[in-house]
Structure 1
Amino acid sequence: MRLLQWRPAWWRPRVQCLLCGGAAEQAALPLCAGCDDDLPWLAGHCAICALPLPVSGLTCGQCLRRAPAFHRVEAPLRYGFPVDALVTRFKHQADAPLGRLLGQLLERHLLHAYEEGLLRPDRLIPVPLSRRREQQRGFNQAQLLAQWLATPLGMPVDNRLVRRTQDTPAQQGLDAATRKRNLRSAFALAADAQVEGLHLALVDDVLTTGATAERIARLLRRAGARRVDVYCLARTPAPE
């Protein structure tokens, strides 16, 4: 018979910070206060596409010239050290604990944004991967993020609505024009898609040029979606 070990009332298991190995203050979030403070949080940014800017509340030149099909991008982090390394480990080394931590940071950001007046979407839509790339990687990081967000945000995930119809080259390292050409026929909506009047949120890991989000949002808006937002972990700064 296994005997229960007595512990004092104040005792609780020590949760380690996934970034430095120190003690995390919250059992539910494996991140210490120091690492939390040192992350590259997205401060000033474009009110539409979240491009990093010197101050908040402005609209970047690109969005002023041509408003995107999506309404708003929500991202807690700026894509830079160490977030770039964390995302790479999550996506390409299948580091699920780090991915879960990043998802919790996005969850915390969104819950705060809802308290500040951000409208809640009807569904979360993960950006799909091509079948070949998902088989190589073993998972779709956007789908995992959406599933992790669904319960705390209280909204369903629709994995069937948007399909990847072409296995295009990886977008990483391509300029904006090439990314757009890559994606012209890369996505399609399910034949039975019913989005009339819905507010939808695309979920992805990183927003760079916004070409993928723009292409999918345009398809959804043409099918009758009322509003499309984008939820992602991090937003890249403009190229130097």
Structure 2
Amino acid sequence: MGKVLLRCAGQCAVCRAWSHQTVCEGCLALYARPHPRCWTCAARLPPELLGRPQPQCGRCLREAPPLDRTIAALDYRFPWDGLLQHFKYRQTPGLRESLLERLNTALTAAEVDAPDWLLPVPMSVERLLERGYNPSIELARALARRRGLNCKPEMLRRVRLPPAPVGLKPQARATNVRGVFAIEPRYATRLRGTRVALLDDVMSSGATLFELAGVLLQGGVMSVQAWVVARTPEPGDA
């Protein structure tokens, strides 16, 4: 597949056709089609499962994750992988709105229950200094405004920076993030008994979101969802 380039004003960021949108309708029809996904981890499922209530992948059936539901708007592949990289490292406002619209559309189609809190995955101080901003916070705040949700990013914190997960298998990724997150003590009481949706830009193995969900449930949160812009395809996905 081709490479996503920086967008000129009035051009689609994918195909370069003239468009008033960051991604034109033709590219959305081609690259943003809905797919059946696992109810609890958002892995792609076979097309024949589209419309089946609460379908789950084999892995989640064998070992239920600590998430009540996971919504992923897109697959992390062309063109969305490149667009997300531009958004994460270049703070492109137009891309933020386009990605936000994809996630908002997916949430509306899924008829998700509104949470009491929408909380972005926290970033370490080191990463924050390196990038200058947390893309998940930007998305969460904008989505909270759009959907009328409570968003307080400071409720969660990352207490240590784990080694880079590149090349790690799923089990090793889970070990890698153990003990990385915590509830900010001054908000612990306010979170107890509430329903939380975690927001992240990309979900790979799910280790980060599963760990955060576990921390919240141990802290007395009643239920946890995950909302992500893109989900990394499983091996063998078409």
SS at match of 2:229: strand
How many Å apart are 1:16 and its aligned residue?
A: 4.3
More helix by share: 2
Q: Any conservation in 2 of the 1:30–1:101 contact (CA below 8 Å)?
A: yes
Q: Out of 181, 186, 189, which is 2:183 matched to?
A: 189
Please give the per-residue CA displacement for 1:161-193, whole angstroms capped at 9, x wherever unaligned: 111000112334432122111111111111121
User: Cα–Cα, structure 1 residues 172 and 85, in superposed 2: closer, same or farther, change >3 Å?
Assistant: farther
Aligned to 1:46: 38
Q: Out of 193, 199, 205, which is 1:203 matched to?
A: 199
SS at match of 1:152: helix
Q: Any conservation in 1 of the 2:156–2:183 contact (CA below 8 Å)?
A: yes
Aligned residue identity for 1:222: Q
Q: Out of 65, 69, 83, which is 1:68 matched to?
A: 65
Correspondence list, 1:38-117, <5 A: 38-54=30-46, 55-56=49-50, 57=52, 58-114=55-111
Q: Any conservation in 1 of the 2:14–2:79 contact (CA below 8 Å)?
A: no
SS at match of 1:197: coil
The normalised TM-score by structure 2 is 0.86
Aligned residue identity for 1:150: A
Q: How many residues align?
A: 221
Correspondence list, 1:89-238, <5 A: 89-114=86-111, 118-192=112-186, 193=188, 194-238=190-234
Q: Any conservation in 2 of the 1:41–1:78 contact (CA below 8 Å)?
A: no
CA distance in 2, matches of 1:92, 1:30: 17
Aligned residue identity for 1:36: L
Structure 1 residue runs of 5 or longer lacking an equivalent are 1-13
Q: Any conservation in 1 of the 2:22–2:94 contact (CA below 8 Å)?
A: no
Structure 2 residue runs of 5 or longer lacking an equivalent are 1-8
Aligned to 1:37: 29
CA distance in 1, matches of 2:163, 2:81: 20
Q: Any conservation in 2 of the 1:124–1:156 contact (CA below 8 Å)?
A: yes
User: Cα–Cα, structure 1 residues 158 and 172, in superposed 2: closer, same or farther, change >3 Å?
Assistant: farther
CA distance in 2, matches of 1:75, 1:69: 16
Aligned to 2:6: none
Aligned residue identity for 1:177: Q
Q: Any conservation in 1 of the 2:14–2:23 contact (CA below 8 Å)?
A: yes
CA distance in 2, matches of 1:87, 1:30: 13
Please give the per-residue CA displacement for 1:78-103, whole angstroms capped at 9, x wherever unaligned: 11111111111111233332233111
Aligned residue identity for 2:25: A
CA distance in 2, matches of 1:32, 1:39: 11
- 1:18 aligned onto 2:13: yes
Runs of 4+ in 1 over 4 A off after TM superposition: none
Q: Any conservation in 1 of the 2:183–2:215 contact (CA below 8 Å)?
A: yes
Paired-residue identity, %: 36
